């Protein structure tokens, strides 16, 4: 079957005048570790600026004060940590209760790598039916497994070429030479949506494919992908299906980067600029 090439953006999430914060969904972001609190902050800001009604950021207890102090608009959830400041295995017990509340879950930004992180990611991927966004160290955790487990619900994976190479057991050169083909085959095989980052970010579910046209070299900076993770989660929380959420998020994320670069320059662009320009990006796509 030929893959359908998508060029039009999906419909924006509806926002009725009589809405309340519950109308726009709850997003739970599991992120951060000692020294990587910024990843949790950036993903939380991406979700807020993406329009989610309530954003919960679950982090190791040692960085809760940093993450909470960064932005008062999201809520923080402290989780047990190991001696290195990463999620402890006992965090699963708390998360078993926490995952019943949100409409969507995201995991990975700044989590670091450990057996406990791998076990938590695997559990969420295999057993939790709610939409799940997996990025960064969440992807590294999946790459440690012998095979990707069957997905319990909608899954969006957001690798850069290096992470995708690890997921597929290849190398970056091979990935870059066949980005569309490899992405579509992976998505079809594993029943997920794949967002393969890079110039001309690819979004595919194995049946459809979109190539994003926004963005610039200034976005090749630490933390940019964390904002995207939160943004995708916010769109899922507002009811967009997985493919549409990933496609719209990639466009808005890149457009925010273009707007930021127009004022700040590409070399001067940093990840924390992106949430500040997302409101203007929303105005552009909704105008």
Model confidence pLDDT, tens digit, residues 227-260 = 999 999 999 999 999 999 999 999 999 999 999 9
Q: What is the DSSP letter of 88?
A: P
Return the pLDDT at 287. Answer: 79
Beta bridge partners of 54: 26
Assessment of whether the complete model's pTM goes beyond 0.85: yes
Dist CA 42 CA 26 (whole Å): 17
The Cα 234–Cα 125 span in angstroms is 19
Starting from the edge strand earliest in sequence, which strands make up the sheet with 54-60, in order?
4-5, 208-211, 202-204, 193-196, 155-157, 132-134, 104-107, 26-30, 54-60, 75-79
What local confidence, expressed as pLDDT, does residue 50 receive? 98
Q: Which residues contact 34 (CB under 8 A, 6 or more apart)?
A: 60, 62, 63, 81, 84, 85, 86
Q: Are 191 and 151 in contact (CB under 8 A)?
A: yes
Contact 58, 95 (CB under 8 A): yes
**Residue ranges, the chain, pLDDT below 50:** none
What pLDDT score was predicted for residue 216? 98
pLDDT at 1: 66
**Cβ 123 vs Cβ 94: under 8 Å:** no
């Amino acid at each position: 079957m030929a893959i359908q090439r998508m060029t039009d953006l999906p419909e924006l999430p509806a926002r009725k005048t009589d809405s309340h914060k519950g109308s726009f969904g709850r997003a739970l972001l599991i992120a951060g570790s000692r020294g990587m609190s910024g990843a949790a902050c950036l993903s939380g800001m991406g979700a807020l600026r993406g329009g989610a009604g309530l954003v919960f950021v679950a982090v190791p207890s040692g960085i809760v004060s940093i993450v909470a102090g960064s932005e008062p608009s999201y809520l923080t959830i402290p989780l047990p940590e190991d001696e290195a400041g990463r999620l402890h295995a006992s965090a699963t017990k708390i998360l078993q209760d926490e995952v019943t509340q949100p409409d969507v879950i995201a995991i990975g930004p700044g989590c670091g790598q450990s057996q406990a992180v791998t076990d938590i990611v695997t559990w969420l991927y295999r057993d939790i039916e709610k939409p799940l966004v997996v990025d960064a160290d969440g992807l590294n955790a999946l790459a440690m497994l012998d095979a990707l487990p069957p997905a319990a619900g909608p899954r969006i994976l957001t690798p850069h070429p290096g992470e995708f190479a690890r997921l597929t057991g290849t190398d970056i050169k091979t990935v870059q030479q066949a980005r569309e083909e490899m992405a579509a085959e992976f998505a079809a095989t594993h029943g997920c949506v794949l967002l393969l980052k890079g110039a001309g970010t690819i979004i595919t579910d194995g049946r459809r494919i979109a190539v994003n046209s926004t963005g610039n070299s200034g976005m090749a900076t630490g933390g940019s992908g964390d904002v995207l993770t939160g943004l995708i989660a916010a769109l899922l929380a507002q009811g967009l299906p997985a493919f549409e959420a990933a496609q719209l998020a990639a466009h808005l994320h890149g457009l925010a980067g273009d707007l930021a670069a127009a004022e700040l320059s590409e070399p001067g662009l940093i990840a924390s600029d992106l949430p500040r320009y997302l409101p203007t990006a929303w105005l552009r796509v909704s105008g």
